[in-house]
Structure formats: C-alpha cells, structure tokens
C-alpha cells in the first residue's frame, strides 16, 4: 500500500511539473471596450472558426471537429499565405470565453496558450480581453511579445469597428 501511495504521489508531481513546463514564461494581455452586450459581441468573436470574419490578418479559417468542443482544430490562412494551426482546449458560450493553443505556426512563439474572454462593461458595452502565455522561439522575448501584441491589437480594433457599424 505504501508503494502505491508513493507511486501516485510521484506521478502527481510529474504531472504538475509537466503542466507547469507547458506554460510560457512571457505573457501578453490586451483588452478593448466595445459597443454591444456580451451576447451580441460573442456572436462576432465567439465562433472559434470565425476569426477570418473579424481579424484583418486572417484570410480564411477551416475547422476539424466541433467548434465548441475541446480538441477541435482550426487552420488559419493569413493574407500572405502563411498557415497557423490551433487547438481549442476549453470553450464556454455561457461564460463567453475560450482557450486555445498553437500547434504550428510561423510566429516566433512556442508553448502558446491564449484565452479570449468577454465581460459586461456597463452602458451596453463589453470588455473583450485577449491574453496569452508563451515562450519566444527564434526571436528575442521583446520581439515575440511585439508580434503577439500586434495580432491582438489588430483583431480588437477590427472587432470594435465592426460592432460600431
């Protein structure tokens, strides 16, 4: 029995260590307050396969699996033809949030985990928060952060202007 407890404890520690290594040491967060209720804004940004509708850098998006089920993957084709493959890891339409990881991309990041989350901001507006953790890959930490910040700001700006129309 003691050997079993030791095995379980050791396995748990290995799992914890594995998960903590997967999270990147860098973090980026951008947010925007946009016109519309969370339900209205979610109709635009909540579709995991709909980034091409509201992000200016994304020309198309294709999906494998159900877009609201963990494990679904999307392949984003950028305007320059580059492709990014991402996997949905958590989704809640009720809470207006989803989390995903990058499986492959030309971006200078690895161990990338991001969350898009909405919350009421009062007066018929919604706070859209896009955040991530990652490690730089093939670039300095500052260069990698700059790339991700640019992606988030471009998307949030387009989402905001789309909802103002």
Instruction: Indicate the number of domains in the chain.
Output: 1
Question: Distance (Å, rounded) from C-alpha 86 to C-alpha 78?
Answer: 13
Give CA 75 to chain center in angstroms.
13
13 pLDDT above the threshold of 60:
no
43: domain CATH number is 3.30.530.20
Domain that holds residue 72: 24-164
Instruction: Specify if 118 maps to a domain.
Output: yes
What band does 67 get if pLDDT is binned at 50, 70 and 90?
Answer: confident
b/e map of 19-51 (b: 16 or more CB within 10 Å)?
A: eeeeebebebebebebbbebeebbebbbbbbbb
pLDDT in tens, 74-121: 999 999 999 999 999 999 999 999 999 999 999 999 999 999 999 999
Instruction: Specify if 38 maps to a domain.
Output: yes
Instruction: Specify if 7 maps to a domain.
Output: no
Instruction: Specify if 32 maps to a domain.
Output: yes
Instruction: Specify if 19 maps to a domain.
Output: no
Give CA 28 to chain center in angstroms.
11
């Amino acid at each position: 029995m003691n050997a079993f407890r030791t095995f379980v404890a050791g396995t748990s520690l290995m799992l914890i260590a594995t998960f903590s290594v997967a999270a990147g040491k860098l973090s980026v967060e951008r947010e925007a307050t946009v016109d519309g209720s969370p339900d209205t804004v979610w109709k635009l940004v909540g579709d995991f396969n709909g980034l091409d509708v509201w992000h200016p850098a994304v020309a198309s998006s294709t999906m494998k699996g159900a877009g609201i089920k963990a494990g679904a993957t999307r392949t984003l084709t950028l305007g320059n033809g580059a492709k990014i493959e991402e996997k949905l890891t958590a989704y809640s339409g009720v809470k207006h949030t989803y989390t995903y990881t990058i499986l492959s991309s030309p971006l200078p990041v690895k161990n990338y985990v991001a969350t898009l989350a909405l919350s009421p901001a009062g007066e018929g507006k919604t706070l859209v928060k896009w955040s991530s953790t990652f490690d730089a890959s093939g670039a300095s930490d500052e260069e990698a952060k700059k790339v991700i910040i640019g992606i988030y700001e471009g998307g949030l700006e387009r989402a905001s202007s789309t909802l103002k129309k």
